[in-house]
Amino acid sequence: MDTVFIEGLEVDTVIGVYDWERGIRQCLRLDLDLGWDIQPAAADDDIARALDYAVLSARVGEFARDAHFQLVETFAERLAALLMAEFGIRWLRIRVTKPGAVPTAKGVGVEIERGCR
């Protein structure tokens, strides 16, 4: 299985458990590793047979724009399920970083892996 990756994708969403967080949008930074067989696309040099990371990134942005979760854990789980269902991805790893959540840390968050490689 090959891996298509998207590194450092920044999206704005409503995320957080505190009341003040529920009324603002915050930035999340995403790193995605997506299991995909690139050979069919490479054989024909055909974007239609590739996992189009521009389309996928736009979909992640739409998801984040519409999301209203308290936990980054929920954000990661729901995003993973959506990507697997909509794009036919059999395996993925998503790292969600919430910069500034802990003032003395560069970022905090979660990393999940779903599916079979």
Q: State whether residue 39 is helix, strand or coil.
A: helix
C-alpha angle with apex 18: 24 to 99, nearest 5 degrees? Answer: 65
**Catalytic residue list contains 98:** yes
Q: In sequence order, what are the residues at sequence separation of 6 or more whose Cβ sits closer than 8 angstroms to the Cβ of residue 44?
A: none
Contact between 58 and 82 (Cβ < 8 Å): no
Out of 1, 98, 109, 115, which one is annotated catalytic? 98
Widest CA span of the chain, in angstroms?
A: 52
C-alpha span between 7 and 33 (Å, rounded):
8
Point out the residues that are catalytic.
Answer: 98
